[in-house]
Structure 1
Amino acid sequence: MDYRGVRRVLFSYVLIHGIFITLQSKEEVLLDMKASGSELGWLTWPFEQADKQGWEVVQRTLNGSQFYSYSVCNVGEREQDNWLRTTFIQRRLSASRVLVELQFVVRDCNSFGGASLTCKETFNLYSSEADADVGTTFRKGQFKKVATIAPDEITRKNQLQINTETRVVDGLSRKGFYLAFQDIGACVAILSLRVYYKTCPATVKSLAVFPETVAGGENQALRKVDGVCMENAVSEEVPRIYCTVDGEWAVLVGQCQCREGYEEKDDVCQECQLGFFKASASSEMCEPCPANTQGLSSGDPVCPCMPGFYRAPDDPPTGPCSGLPSAPLDLLATTTQLSAGRLLLSWSPPYDTGGRDDLTYSVDCRRCEVTACQPCGEKVRYEPASTGLTDTRVSVSQLDAHLNYTFTVNTHNGVSQIASKVSTGALVPRATASLTTTLRYTDPPTVTSMRLDERRPTSLSLSWVVSPRHRAPPRTFRYELTYRKKDDNLNMTTYTVLILDRTSVLVSDLAPSTTYMFRVQPITEGGTGGSIMEDEFETLPDAQAPSNTTVIFGAAVGGAAMLFIVAVVLFVRKRRRNSHSRQGPEDAYFSSSEQLKPLKTYVDPHTYEDPNTAVLKFASEIHPNHISKQKVIGAGEFGEVYRGILKAPGRKEGPVAIKTLKPGYSEKQRQDFLSEASIMGQFSHQNIIRLEGVVTKFKHAMIVTEYMENGALDKYLRDHDGEMSSFQLVGMLRGIAGGMKYLSDMSYVHRDLAARNILVNTNLECKVSDFGLSRVLEDDPEGTYTTSGGKIPIRWTAPEAIAYRKFTSASDVWSFGIVMWEVMAFGERPYWDMSNHEVMKAINEAFRLPAPMDCPSAVYQLMLQCWLQDRSKRPRFPDIVSLLDKLLRSPDSLKTIADFDPRVSIRLPSTSGSDGSPFRSVSEWLESIKMSQYSENFTCAGLLTMEQVLQMKNEDIKNIGVRLPGHLKRIAYSILGLKDQTSTLSVFAI
């Protein structure tokens, strides 16, 4: 049978009926076989041979347009392997996933009679990636299978059935690709091939503009896209939306809102009309100006107060303004207790409160003697107070006799203080009223002192002195004298009370050698008491005198005791002199401090003769069958570290970290390895890594600790550079400080405190770990530990520890200051690329690390305190914890940012690369400032040369997709550093 003839008939039928399908979607077409209208130039393999026929191109004209198709129909021949390869298809943008839409016809094998035994009704689709067109070179091994194409409908005789299938080619990453069709013995015709990828079109949602975005692939079903707020719109977080694989926008997160002074109308932000305002960014509409305010222009964020009206500091800026109150009414002084020096002032509220309900009153008193008047001073008492009164009455006492007093009552409200600052004194009379009351009365005298005139074994003669002011004119007063034994139980004390008309008394019937407490108080005719005077006096012993023998014996005993005390003092002084003479020259470096002498509660495992004893005492044994290792997560000093699962009986199953001891270890290495477990087993604190147990009784020793999902703090911070607020960072520091306070309270020195030795879990909780270098404080006077050698982490170590290898809790405080710097700098290396020698030299010359970018001033000041040269002046860990708690309770205290010099604070690279020549590419420059993750952003924006980069402004950096403030500043400051050194920082102020 002429199968080639069958193929031509097949295509003639298609041309006559004009059967084509057009899909309407958000698509970017890479190849359209139907729309090309010219020779496609596809490659067939094997190449044309006389005895074999593979894929064939067929050309026809339809409605004046050229139409090309490919077909193959070698069903009568066995083992067919015919390939048809497209031309090189360029991959655009970041399209990693393309769709292949295929229209084809497959002939029913049963229609070929005997040839049906070798006939197939399917063919295969393949793909191959390349960075350039390989021309006519064809190797089957470069292709990978995409799918087997099977028709839904088979063409039988004159019933032509056109099939449409769409397949996905995913995971594309190179510059382009080829598609190929493999025929294995079918009668098939390819009518149309369309290759395209889907995009989510540029759109505006919730006042945010989102760019056109290529749909994600199978491994990224939702592609996150950041948007930009429209003009005069803002958002607390960067608005983002997700582009689905179908080219549809979904899951809008964050939304832009019109900023203050603007409201949303017709999908844009428009200014508030005159007389309206809007105080904050929100979706609300503008509101009319409140009472006693006025609009000054359109777009007002707030309406200012009219003249004569004010807002209190606590008043919302969106509220009405208030005026001053009027004077209080009906001030009245009631003098029914003049003899006691007391009167009652009362008044009525003002008729005008100024539109407020926070009225208070104050009372001012002036005292006039003869012709001069002066303030009454602190002697006069007010009940309940003289200022801040909310009631309309006050009691005044402790007034002197024969004087004139003038009282003034002032009315205040919440804006009185504001008004006094911006207005003249003419405002004061509106809030004042006064009344002069002349008081003439006699008040009780003041007792100034008591004295003992005579004493006997059973009696005491006392007298007291009255204030000279009350001796003339003479008045008749009485005095109340009360006395008791001093040592009596206060719950069972017997008081004796005498009422006297004179200023002296003889008290009899007292006990010998006994101390008595005396209290005298003057009282007036009305029974009101004046000031009270207290004193104590002792009666003489009984008349019997001690014998001579007793006196001599007592003197002898006293002399012996005195000699013993002198001997002890001399011995102690001599020991101290000897101790000082044995001190080394470095001891002068240290100053004594109580903070360096904590109580020792920690037990050093190295003090045990058998280290295994310490391990068994402080750590629980775990059977290795209860531990399952999953994967290696790191390598320690002694071996690998695994993530695993602990399934011990009686414990909740959970993830753990497993430290192992590498094969071929020595006994000393094993002891050192297990000593860390002996140390950790003594600690129990939420900010100290928790020891789960050890494996010591089997061949492979292990230490099992809790698992910290986010790993080491320094790496975590670098991976999340700029993604956390200062409040979150200070919270992490608070956890570290809490753990170090716990260690210092146990008299324990860590010696290697650094961000790399802090672990972070999923809750961003930080825990101190790595106790390999740690040691306990010894009981010497300085409370230090002297090392016997070994490496010291110079960048984190206090200068006294470097110089004399002596470590204290104060040296841990220095290290904590470095950790604070690491945290606020998002894992930057302390002292950058300086050598250890340069670091030590700089520290000795008083250089200190500069404030990291956006570091709160209070946090940086704490760092500087930790880095004081005199260790006795450094804060203790309890002080550090207290200060960090205070900052966290008052987040506003973190808003003041420390001074920042970019050329010092972030070691910006010079204008040349590592070999001294100018940066040869944008990617090389970005890598030098650790911002290589934005290479694609610069490339997509067409910024391919350093000359183009140097022309960028701050807005240009934002527009290419750099959103994190820390990253934005680093790139901006780097560009500034690459420019002329005379450029001012204000060009790139952020």
Structure 2
Amino acid sequence: CTLSHVTTIIYDNYYFNVCTSNLVDFVILFQWEVVQRTLNGSQFYTYSVCNVGEREQDNWLRTTFIQRRPAASRVFVELQFIVRDCNSFGDSSVTCKETFNLFTSESDADVGTTFRKGQFKKVATIAPDEITSKNELHINTETRVVENLSRKGFYLAFQDIGACVALLSARVYYKTCPATVKSLASFPETVAGGENQALREVSGVCMDNAISEELPRIYCTVDGEWVVPVGQCQCKSGYEEVKDACQECQAGFFKAAASGDKCEPCPANTQKLNSGALVCPCMDGFYRAPTDPPTGPCSGLPSAPRDLVATTTQLSTGKLLLSWQPPEDTGGRSDITYSIECQRCEGVVCQSCGEKIRYEPASTGLTDTKVSVSELDAHLNYTFTVEAHSGVSLFASQIRNILYPLSSDPPKITSMRLVERTSTSLSLSWDVFPRPRVQSRPIRYELTYRKKDDNLDVTTYIVLILEKNFVQISKLAPGTAYLFRVQALSSDGTPGGSSMEEQFETSLEERLTQNNTAVISCAAVGGAAMLFIVVMVLFLRRRKRNSHTRQGPEDTYFSSSEQLKPLKTYVDPHTYEDPNTAVLKFATEIHPSHITKQKVIGAGEFGEVYRGILKVPGRKEVAVAIKTLKPGYSEKQRQDFLSEASIMGQFSHQNIIRLEGVVTKFKHAMIVTEYMENGALDRYLRDHDGEFASFQLVGMLRGIAAGMKYLSDMSYVHRDLAARNILVNNTLECKVSDFGLSRVLEDDPEGTYTTSGGKIPIRWTAPEAIAYRKFTSASDVWSFGIVMWEVMAFGERPYWDMSNHEVMKAINEAFRLPAPMDCPSAVYQLMLQCWLQDRSKRPRFGDIVNLLDKLLRSPDSLKTIADFDPRVSIRLPSTSGSDGSPFRSVSEWLESIKMSQYSENFTCAGVVTMDQVLQMKNEDIKNIGVRLPGHLKRIAYSILGLKDQTSTLSVFAV
């Protein structure tokens, strides 16, 4: 069509282009006409065609370009039209039809007046329900669906092939589900899907101050209706639902948790807070018991028991009956119990009656108001105290009714007991009578202790002033007896009645500390040397015996028949049909109320890691690390998360991270372990580069080896031993952690575990484990050798910036990491033994522990330093970068050796070029402020390497 042959009509906000030419390949016949009609007194326009007497009719009418909303893949076309009855034309209706066709064509742009029939596809044949005769007019309405639209817009076209038809209107639309709020979740207007997406899922957003455990969702049907809402939003604590919104609780009302419930009035004996209250706190003098719900009423303390009477029943047998009346005020509680305390007085000195006295039925937890006391001695004064208790008595001093009360200022110590002991510490507690009230001034105690040693003329006492009736005393000698005495101090500091002197002894177990400076006597050195020779002879004999039975790279790691099938004490939690059973068997369940999160210290695979406090009733407060499971987890993720606890719970060793317990029975699962103050070993060593002597580093390695020996003895393979998975506490004690990749050894002779997939830490993994995916304790020994290198190199990355492919290639070509700077030769030789290609020749962890112990007992053996090549060990590319050009600045050179913290020192000293650096000596490095021995040597060795490489490059250039 040319523009001169196009007529454009606007009707009902639609544009219709009528093409009125007949050209080749653009077959558009002009017979559609715009006709004005009158119906029921109203005028309207129609597009009409009525060439029933002519043959081969093919008349087209096309719309303008209709842009499509991206989500609307399905549109409806509603047509109003009139079709005349062919019989009304008589015999002249040669080609008369009573139907016409609807076509559509998609396009990404408006093609203007260009028209090609081949671009259109048929949607439907439109037939009238009622046809129009000469005397009666019938308007038909038909709706057709155009599916699977995907381009930016489309055209509609109407084809007449010989009907007498008038098109009144064409309404094109799509269906939507309207914007709505359901269950406090807001859902946006959504275009309905097509036949290939009968239900379109839509995510919603909770209204202000509402939350949901899972993302609220709903489905939009093809008919534009919302169905099947999933996930309900609920008003947060302190809010209630009012007309599809969350409003604050009114003053005097509260709501403790997110729910669909209404706010409730504050219960009895609580404070009426302002609006939005989560709980109503207790009024002064009222409390809630630990077992009371936080939403319940508060209770007062019971008053004193009344009318305490002592009746002698059998004076000769020392028997007494105590009886009393219940307190007048129970504080609103029904869980009243009583307890009896007894003190025996001789003169003005009173002390606890001890365990000799017998009570029937008991001395505590009494629900009756009488008790029988026996085994009393004649001619002694006894003081009995009856206390009334309830569930809230923990929060204030119990109310007493004392028979024959004695005034004592200050209170007296009645007994001392040992709570816990180690080789270097003792934990003690003691009882005081009478117990202080909460409102009274706190009691202070004077603790005096000394080492029990009758052979010394001079005795040293240590005096501590305490405000609690318990203490932990550390830095004691192992296997040593100490004498303790406690006195309560009056308000002016005057000592009161003291306890009897008690004796307690530390355990014999000694732990290796990093600050050990004890000098080994000549006799011990000689004995150690002899023992070393014997062990080496036995070791060589065993190696020789093994060489005759060696079968190949996959031969068994163990060297004697007794060790082929070690006693297996570890149980793989993955073998349990229900993993939750393993968690309950090997881990202690902790109530979340006993855990306090303080600070996020990291992020694990499953969620955040917190530092926190664990306070379990009856135990002292301890710092812990808390691993959490992030929201939205699947059941499999929860089981994988808790499987690490099932593994850790089976271990008990001072060099294995200790599991405190788990939280599994509540919404948020947690794993609670002991807290290691200094974090991961690799980061800690990098932060303290050069600050530790070789002796201390070897001590750290000994702790790691001891932990791995324990795991190996339990037939357990770690598979991910690396410095990043070793944790350090504040005494520099190292503990093995992270058991996510670990698996149990099977019962086959090779004792291997074969993985079916997953990532392998290439830089730390033995070559046979990489090649065959088979792991043994021998592969853990290889990893331990890498950890030794990391420790002696102060957290340097193994193999530096080499790629994993380069690392594997180098290892297979017999390359081994060079000795770190200042590494003792004996330690580096042990590393090389751990990296032997034949795994059967590598030492066991028991051998490693013994060797490290010998090195620590003979500090002189650590003075011989292994050869150090700064060009390899510091991993300098050369005096230049990788492109061959020299270092452009001193700061660039310092950054390459990880000493950039000294850039300012060099600048202030006027050393600003690499030529000046090459002229520096050790004394010059010290003078600019490099004091740490490790840092001083690293810079000095680097300069030495620079000089050597500069000479090599010069010769090469010549």
What TM-score do you get using the length of structure 2 for normalisation?
0.46
Which protein is bigger by CA-based radius of gyration? 1
